[in-house]
Amino acid sequence: MRLINTTTLQVVEFLSIDVPPYAILSHTWGNEEVTFRDMMLRFTEDLAVEASTRIEQKAGFIKIQKSCELAKRKGFGYIWNDTCCIDKESSAELSEAINSMYRHYGNSGVCYAYLVDVSRERLSRWFTRGWTLQELLAPSEVVFYDKDWRKIGTRTRLANLISVITRIPTSVLMGDQDLKSCSIAQRMSWAAERRTTRAEDIAYCLMGIFGVGMPTLYGEGAIRAFIRLQEEIIKYNTDDGTIFAWRANTGPKNQELTFKLLDFHTLKQA
């Protein structure tokens, strides 16, 4: 597992048995995210100064700086960020990281949810994305910050409001109810209105929510990815038939996968 040193901003790799306490960042991706390659280049001796400066002027790098400063003030020597702690040029590493993502968030000391677009006039895009569902639920503690890194509140303190937005019970948000006690159909309903950039990701981002894993095969298409997800869920949840209340539904040009409820009465009884 790779982590960012909150003092040096250098990416450091740890064996699974040696991972130190760390914070984790949850955010929506923008146009100027910093990649693993970028972070490696910053510490390359022959990298031109102007190239290094160009990396550090990216909006994504400023986000890394701010989250590191916050984590360091809270006593964390390391933080994890999905943009630059994964070498996405390696398909094998990307697949492994996606299968480990829920665990990464669950093992973090605290999750900082950065809502870059938050305002009183509109709902943050963070609540509409597929990957942020597990980032909301997996950590033991989630703290929300606005675009200027001002604290909004914690998941626990904002549980009633978040429940209205997401339809997730406050008991789950506050940690009083185990996620596994919720039916498959109920958990699926939380993802029904969410979107991902890559078609297959709306299925892949739910693996942790259902406690399953499977290889990621980008290019297989949204429907096939969802079918494989269903198959894996069924293997470990043979007594819960509510999964059949939902089916995959592709949007324009098959670029989006949403979930369509086949029988709303089934969900209400789940």
- In tens, the pLDDT along 242-253 reads 766 655 555 544
Angle CA 218–220–221, to nearest 5: 100
Give the list of residues 6+ apart from residue 37 with CB closer than 8 angstroms, or none. 87, 89
In this predicted structure, the answer to whether residue 113 has a pLDDT above a threshold of 60 is: yes
Q: Does 204 score more than 50 pLDDT?
A: yes
pLDDT score for 251: 54
Better-predicted residue by pLDDT, 255 or 212: 212
Is pLDDT of 53 > 80? no
Q: Quick one: what percent of the chain has pLDDT higher than 90?
A: 66
Give 48's pLDDT tier (boundaries 50, 70, 90): low
Q: Is the pLDDT of residue 237 over 80?
A: no
Residue 261 has pLDDT above 80, yes or no: no
Greater confidence (192 vs 201) lies with 201
pLDDT of residue 16: 82
Burial class (CB in 10 A: 0-12, 13-18, 19+), 181: exposed
More confident site: 190 or 44: 190
Q: How confident is the model at residue 192 (pLDDT cuts 50, 70, 90)?
A: confident
Taking CB atoms within 8 Å and a gap of at least 24, the contacts of 212-217 are 212/236, 213/99, 214/99, 215/95, 216/94, 216/95, 216/98, 216/99
Between residues 159 and 45, which one has the greater pLDDT?
A: 159
Mean pLDDT of all residues in 116-132: 84
Mean pLDDT of the chain: 86
Read off the pLDDT of residues 7-25 as tens digits, 9 standing for 90 and up. 999 999 998 889 999 999 9
With contact defined as beta carbons under 8 Å apart, do 189 and 210 qualify? no
Task: Grade residue 51 by pLDDT with cuts at 50, 70 and 90.
Answer: low
Tokens of 259: 């979930």
* pLDDT over 70 percentage in the chain: 84
Asked if the model's pLDDT at residue 58 lies above 70, the reply is yes
Q: Taking the model in full, what pTM does it have?
A: 0.86
Specify the higher pLDDT residue, 212 or 43.
212
For 2-11, 33-42, 167-176, which range has the lowest pLDDT when averaged over its residues?
A: 33-42
Q: Is residue 102 pLDDT above 70, yes or no?
A: yes
Q: What's the rounded Cα separation, in Å, for the pair 136 and 139?
A: 7
